[in-house]
Structure 1
């Protein structure tokens, strides 16, 4: 065996990327198979294609990890370490299903070329790509030799016996899957690339017993949008679920289109699945109605609360305004009826008059505390001399006595008495000044 253990091959970075380029690999292999005329004949599924890539790459990785970076072709075709055994078993299975050796090798060639295509799409230098292609070609050539050798050595009788076994297994699998499809309550339509129904399950026959569904366009059986497959795919993109009510029975279905090519690369058909979701839809409608009603009720209550808030804010503003008015009124009354009395007290030398002023202040403050209307204080209207004269009158002295005591003329006393009566609101009234002073309860 020839090998290069010390030299690291840069193209290995590209080979390691191949399994991660799944979609590109499947697309290119399908195209290569179609170009070679094999795609319509294959039964390979998506998983089968990925397993083929895995079986091809793993021996390379194993050899590389052992330090065999440049294996010898002669050593590879000896298959001493059984590196090619998984691939040989795959070839035997195809031989058992009736695949001819030339067809199998042709399909294998399309596989190799799809890998070359993927490598060309990767970002790398041309030298790296050239090295990766040569490495793949080396292992591919060795596998072709081993395929042919094993194919020739196998007995035709054994191959025929294996083919019978495979056919029986395929028949059993076919029956099993048909039974599964026919026992489900979901409606299943298989339609081709032109929208023609090629197969249906029992559930469809029960819902559409008198309709000629098979070999007819799907839009003749279901009232869906579109009159071509392209239009249907436009209105109903694959793997996207839609709710439809295609029948006049009140039932609601979830409709979904899935390409069968996801399972088998050779198929251009689609699976149209209708699942009855009427109970879930009705329950959802009920929940939506309840939510809508509760939302509407909540909005109504919110509106009412907002109105109450507006009313409350207006009331609070009114209260604030009223409080401001009360404060202004109290301030005005204190300024008008209390503070002047304090000024009089401060300037009054006569203790008896000061006592009368104190009585006025106490009366006014009491009225403020109890919210009563403030009285107009009489003493604030009288001058000092008028106040002294009121003291004498309240004590029962005559005008002449007052004039003698104050050393004033009788006419002056009479003038003061007239002014007092006017200020006390007695002008023109037949009321004794002495009696009035006793009635209003002034204390001097």
Structure 2
């Protein structure tokens, strides 16, 4: 299922060694909420055979950059498109950006790489983080307005300032107009993270080498993506030399998160989840047809092109009971429908031992992506023998769930970046699974 504008131009391509070569300028640019999506983001008709293979690249001018003595600060950016695999086993094209730091790496060994998995940006193609890096502020004006801010730039630049190379993924379908973004899909996001590492390590003319270690960084949606990637690395990407992961406020149990966000400022995220579920698992569509009323279908269609700011302004503090024929909330329907319960159970993070040391940080008063479900994920990893550092972040509980969720990000970000840098510099971390005993 897709509820976005489709590509209207036929794709002309030639194949060389199994890789479709399609100059971006031959594709027809599309628009999303009055924002033109560069032709670069339109995938070719045929994708490479191997995951992590680069499909195309181009220089990316950063909106926030400064001249430096030895080069542009914080570094030189390249927009990338690479091959990944979705949760159904099909090939997909994913976009992102690689930034080569101007700062030197002062730790031991080769310069390391961190994959940054963005937090919630939205579901419209104009919301992609790589586009936000180029524009800083993405604004579309017209019958459908939109605003997207590249808020992940602070974490990215903090890593670059320490001499760590960064590659950022846009995730499946965010930016590329061929598919709808499968928001919080565990497998899609984990694969996109790991294949971004592969693509960056294969990018020519960088300071990365085959001895470069890899770290993962993400908060909120990004925290779930990197947590999933750490679990999937052993079977999906054992070639990625993953050393450490920072997973902040991960949505590890989507049933719990669904109940928490309904009626909050971020109700839009519930719509993005439902849209993504329907694309990833077409067998769920009859249930949606049964339960969604006209208002629900209209809302989901509108949300499919919105960024997080748009959704906050339009749907804050509303409830999903207005979307359904029965007057039930989405969470209540999930409890009564085995197919939905089973699908969400399959999205649970915490069932496989993660690779490398992993720091799970979450706010004790986070009632948007609830503290308890993140703590359960960490405890489950400990029982599986994982090397886990659990870091509860204490802040006052406020009336706004969004502030309770993002406050810990602001408080902990500097510590998180420093922690990840130390792990990539071969400094040991002390796991504290004993603090989670009895969970």
Tell me whether the two structures share a fold, i.e. TM-score over 0.5.
Answer: no
Name the structure with the higher helix share: 1
Q: TM-score, normalised by structure 1?
A: 0.21
Alignment TM-score, normalising by the size of structure 2: 0.21
Structure with the bigger percentage of strand: 2
Tell which has more relative contact order, 1 or 2 (C-alpha 8 A, sep 6+).
2
Larger Rg: 1
